[in-house]
Structure 1
């Protein structure tokens, strides 16, 4: 389903357990099973989307104070029940050099960053609320 301002997305099988994800802007990502060389598993893509959304959402708050060359790294880990087929928790760790700020300003910036993610990060909000997923299968 294509919405206003949303890229057309597709995933095409290119080999055994090998797929290419594409958008209409020319970006490509390799998708495969967990542990496959040179590709992301679907679960890894969900995790990296969560970390990426956090980074994109907070970037302006960081660069406004630290400058356009500010370094930031968002990493993500997951928890899954033994034998479980879904993640129980995703934990994003955002590292950004804010040491040059005084303690009060740093606290306010971190609070603003957290609020921005809670209000604007589409991926985190979707995961937290549990979006429904529909499936239509069309014989080729």
Structure 2
């Protein structure tokens, strides 16, 4: 894609109702904005070939290696702690500092089909796809 196409995409995604279609290698990707009225924010959803399949989010939750190509190419990798700070403090009191430190190192990795930041979405698409073209809707 050329810089003008990226600028048009960024402008479309700057509103809570923007949408655009792209062809990334052999996949047709539909980027669509969704609003969250409770948080008063919006994010970009990625539909791959017209679908949001929960099976694509499946991965090895310890290493983060996805089981489907769609997750690696288009979805956001999410890493969170397996234990809350409150739980870790409780374990620190019971089992000691060494065990609590081991528990803080334990992470849970999954994938998410929504993106809050356009620049991180663009960076991820460019890094994981060889050709990206804009599909003009008629």
**Does the alignment reach a TM-score above 0.5?**
no
TM band (smaller chain):
under 0.3
Q: TM-score, normalised by structure 1?
A: 0.23
Which TM-score applies when normalising by structure 2? 0.23
Q: Which has the higher strand share?
A: 2
**Structure having greater relative contact order (Cα 8 Å, sep ≥ 6):** 2
